[in-house]
Amino acid sequence: MNAPAQDASIRRRGPALDVAVVGGGMVGAAAALALARAGFSTALLEARAPAAWSAEAEVDLRVVGLAPSSLALLDELGVWTSIRDARSSPYTHMHVWDAQSGAAIDFDAASERHDRLGCIVENNLVQWTLWRALEAAGVRRLCPAEVKGFEARDDRVQLELADGATLAASLLVAADGAASPLRQLAGIGTRGRDYAQRAVVAHVSTERPHESTAWQRFLPGGPLALLPLADGRSSIVWSLSEADARRVLALDDQAFGDELGVASDFRLGRITASTPRAAFPLKLQLAERYQADRLVLLGDAAHTVHPLAGQGVNLGLRDVAELRDTLLDARHAGRDIGAAHVLRRYARRRRSADTLDALGFDALARIYAWQSPALVAARGVGTSLLDRLAPLKRRIGEHAAGL
């Protein structure tokens, strides 16, 4: 008879802060903003504030292809219009082809009665826009801040910060990247594999227009993507072995353009200019679980995937939407938002979905690495068949869109 009153008393004595989000990248900032907009008292802890975005600055080398599900979430959060109007490039078509078999598959927005397949946007533009929206939404920004440890208690999680301060919340959200110190502190392991590859990125000018199309060619050494930018250039993401990546990074612009033209089958003509290049390592990594006592993982802290499908950030933003909805349901039911049974719902749903996607991308990477003539021929037949099976192709497109 006294249990409900006791539970209410515990809630009254609980921490004033509902959620502490650690990590202010795109996914962490989106999580803090989404939870604050949903009425949860939220703090965001980040070691370094993002660099201010400027329209006069060169386009960020790191770009993301935002799927319709991500665009819808950003629109709900009230930031998409600012991002779109600042600098973004919608793409309406995707052409994927195999360098060895010649087989190709096309996705077209108009044929599916959509106005676009997605939008290419700079990472730092998304992060900066989200960061600027936090204060108005009531998010308490702690920056610079570093979590040195935490302790889960009956009604809260107590954070110890590097400067000696403490912070208490009902729930701790780890969005602190692939190396996630919080994941390690929670004793959550990971599994996966290192692809022994790097993704070389740059922005290039080409003889022919990109036609608002995302182009992707599967080469024996890894996929090459050319993504349309708003200024008419294309952003490349070229997966190469460690040795080839080092070699390509060392080429002069003329030699780089020549080699990239060959790799892209001159689909957009010759490469006429290029920005400086950069590269980042590729790996598959999945957390063994997405929750611990009063803690959940989001984004790269939970999963990192091969960039061939361009879905890394989109998966993270789907994590955000799922967590927000889970916590809203718990609050409406009068439950403790940091309770294990509440967090299990989020963890079960997102880990299952993320694992299927991550392993699917990994399988594609393995399939397109096949070199034997028989397997290459089989791959070509399968690709051509898929392109003709409209219902199945539609389902794949809808899944990638998050619909």
Q: What is the pLDDT of residue 361?
A: 84
Q: Are 120 and 23 in contact (CB under 8 A)?
A: no
- Mean pLDDT for the stretch of residues 320-336: 97
When pLDDT is cut at 50, 70 and 90, the band that residue 365 belongs to is confident
Q: Is the pTM of this model over 0.85?
A: yes
- Mean pLDDT for the stretch of residues 377-383: 82
Q: What is the pLDDT of residue 279?
A: 96
When pLDDT is cut at 50, 70 and 90, the band that residue 331 belongs to is very high
Identify the weakest region by mean pLDDT among 103-112, 247-256, 363-372.
Answer: 363-372
Task: Give tens-digit pLDDT for 235-273.
Answer: 999 999 999 999 999 999 999 999 999 999 999 999 999
When pLDDT is cut at 50, 70 and 90, the band that residue 290 belongs to is very high
Report the chain's terminal Cα–Cα distance, integer Å. 45
E-assigned strand segments in 87-181:
89-91, 93-98, 104-108, 118-122, 140-142, 147-152, 157-161, 166-169, 171-174
pLDDT > 90: percent of the chain: 78
When pLDDT is cut at 50, 70 and 90, the band that residue 304 belongs to is very high
Q: How far apart are CA 10 and CA 70, in angstroms?
A: 37
CATH number (3.30.70.940, 3.30.1330.30, 3.50.50.60, 3.40.50.1360) of 8-401 reads 3.50.50.60
Selected residue with higher pLDDT from 367 and 256: 256
Task: Give tens-digit pLDDT for 70-101.
Answer: 999 999 999 999 999 999 999 999 999 999 88
When pLDDT is cut at 50, 70 and 90, the band that residue 38 belongs to is very high
When pLDDT is cut at 50, 70 and 90, the band that residue 41 belongs to is very high
When pLDDT is cut at 50, 70 and 90, the band that residue 13 belongs to is very low
Q: How far apart are CA 211 and CA 35, in angstroms?
A: 38
Q: Please state whether beta strands 190-206 and 63-66 pair in parallel, antiparallel, or not at all (unpaired).
A: unpaired
**Domain ranges (residues) in the chain:** 8-401
Q: Which of 361, 179, 354, 188 is nearest to 281 (CA)?
A: 179
When pLDDT is cut at 50, 70 and 90, the band that residue 392 belongs to is low
5, pLDDT greater than 90: no
Task: Give tens-digit pLDDT for 140-197.
Answer: 999 999 999 999 999 999 999 999 999 999 999 999 999 999 999 999 999 999 999 9
Computed on alpha carbons and rounded to an integer, the radius of gyration of the chain in Å comes to 22
136, pLDDT greater than 90: yes
- Mean pLDDT for the stretch of residues 298-313: 88
Q: Provide the token pair at 297.
A: 């993982």
The 3-state DSSP class for residue 63 equals: strand
Q: What is the pLDDT of residue 369?
A: 79
Q: What is the pLDDT of residue 371?
A: 80
When pLDDT is cut at 50, 70 and 90, the band that residue 368 belongs to is confident
